[in-house]
Amino acid sequence: MNKYIPSIITLTGLFCGFMAIARADYAISPLLIIISFVCDGLDGFVARLLNTSSEIGKQLDSLSDIVCFGVAPAYLYYLMAPDDSYLCMVVPSVIVLAGAFRLARYNVLTPVNYFRGLPIPSAAFFFVGIVLAVDNENELIITYFDNKFLYLITPVIISLLMVTSKIRMFGPKSVTSKFKDYIFPVLTLIIFIISWFLIDWAALSFTILCYVVLSIIYTFMNQKVEVKV
């Protein structure tokens, strides 16, 4: 029975991703995506704890990720479109396409202690923050995405960040016993906490942007170290 527990958790996350799409609700759907994110982290942890990791679990996790962090946020973003043009319908799909490519690449490349480009859950959190900010009537966010050009260019930029392999995005595996490895994650957490009190749900999107900037600095610093070595 233990070997099925991680997959049950993964499928629970996938169910929440589907419900996020089915509800198409600015308040409820983003929260369902957040629950999917919790399941995404929990299934791997439980699999390692029970020593039940499997190739099927890995593939199931990727399939769940593309629905929960690709299709669901892309659909919610589409619902925010400033008009009914085909362009506003088509462009959000780049989130799904980039996410699918990224997940496929992740499954075949040799594991490293950092993310190659923006992780798809982080991209999803960026859009979740936007949707929740709109739902909470954040005037700045609403005005920004009422501009058709800005609405169209934003998912393109986020998608490019997902598929690039040039930026090393720090993550849990980047943290070792060295003090310097804690600087960027802790700084990201501090940014989120402070921005949460200032801009509420928009803090999610703002923190992801800061995460990208900090990761560019992280990439530059590590490349300099490698050159010296």
pLDDT tens across 79-128, in order? 999 999 999 999 999 999 999 999 999 888 887 888 999 999 999 999 99
Please give the C-alpha separations between residue 148 and each of 15, 40, 83, 131, in angstroms, as whole numbers: 32, 33, 8, 16
User: Collapsing DSSP states into helix, strand and coil, what is residue 116?
Assistant: strand
Task: Classify residue 215: in a domain, yes or no.
Answer: no
| Mean pLDDT score, 205-219 | 95
Q: Determine the structural domain holding residue 50 and report its residue range.
A: 2-169
Q: Within a domain: residue 127?
A: yes
Is residue 180, in this structure, part of any structural domain at all?
no
Domain-located, residue 136: yes
Most confident of 74-78, 198-202, 214-218, 219-223: 74-78
User: According to the model, what pLDDT value does residue 51 have?
Assistant: 80
Residue 44 lies in a domain: yes
Q: How many domains does the chain divide into?
A: 1
- pLDDT of residue 57 exceeding 90, the answer is no
- For residues 107 and 213, give the distance between their C-alpha atoms in angstroms, rounded to a whole number: 26
pLDDT score for 185: 92
- Written as six digits, the tokens of 160 are 């490019």
**Residue-wise pLDDT tens digits, 72-81:** 999 999 999 9
Does residue 124 lie within any of the structural domains? yes
Task: List % helix, strand, coil for the chain (3-state, nearest 5).
Answer: 80, 0, 20
Q: Is 168 helix (H, G, I), strand (E, B) or coil?
A: strand
- In-domain check, residue 225: no
Pairing of strands 168-169, 115-116: antiparallel
Q: Could you tell me what percent of the chain has a pLDDT over 70?
A: 97
Q: What is the pLDDT of residues 11-56, one digit of tens each?
A: 999 999 999 999 999 999 999 999 999 999 998 888 888 888 777 8
pLDDT at 72 (0 to 100): 98
pTM, rounded to two decimals? 0.91
CA distance 9 to 60: 11
CATH code (residue 23): 1.20.120.1760
Range of weakest confidence among 7-16, 111-120, 170-179, 213-222? 170-179
Asked, for residue 188, whether it belongs to a domain, the answer is no
